[in-house]
Amino acid sequence: MNDFDFLAGHWNVINRRLVKPLSGSAEWDEFPGRSVATRHFGGAASFDEIEFPTKGFSGLTVRVYDAVARAWSLYWAGSAQGALDTSPMVGAFDGNRGEFYGEETCDGRLVRCRFVWTVADDGTARWEQAFSPDDGRTWETNWTMDFTRA
Number of domains in the chain: 1
What are the C-alpha distances in Å from 139 to residues 61, 73, 112? 23, 21, 9
Q: Would the CA dihedral through 24, 30, 31, 33 be positive or negative?
A: positive
Residue 80 belongs to domain spanning:
5-19+29-149
The CA distances from residue 128 to 32, 100, 140, 144, in Å, are 15, 10, 10, 4
Residue 24 placed within a domain: no
**Nearest C-alpha neighbor of 129 from the set 118, 144, 112, 109:** 144
Asked, for residue 115, whether it belongs to a domain, the answer is yes
User: Is residue 11 in a domain?
Assistant: yes
User: For the domain that residue 92 is a member of, what is the CATH number?
Assistant: 2.40.128.20
Q: Would you tell me how many other CB atoms lie within 10 Å of the CB of residue 72?
A: 24
In a domain, 93, yes or no: yes
Residue 61: CB atoms within 10 A of its CB come to 22
Structure confidence by residue, pLDDT tens digits, 30-75: 999 999 999 999 999 999 999 999 999 999 999 999 999 999 999 9
β-bridge pairing 9-18 and 140-149: antiparallel
Q: Is the pTM of this model over 0.75?
A: yes
Q: Is residue 67 part of a domain?
A: yes
Predicted confidence at residue 149, as pLDDT, reads 97
Task: Evaluate whether residue 55 is within a structural domain.
Answer: yes
Tell me how far apart the alpha carbons of residues 106 and 101 are, in angstroms, rounded to a whole number: 15
Residue 96 in any domain: the answer is: yes
pLDDT tens column, 83-128: 888 899 999 999 999 999 999 999 889 999 999 999 998 899 999 9
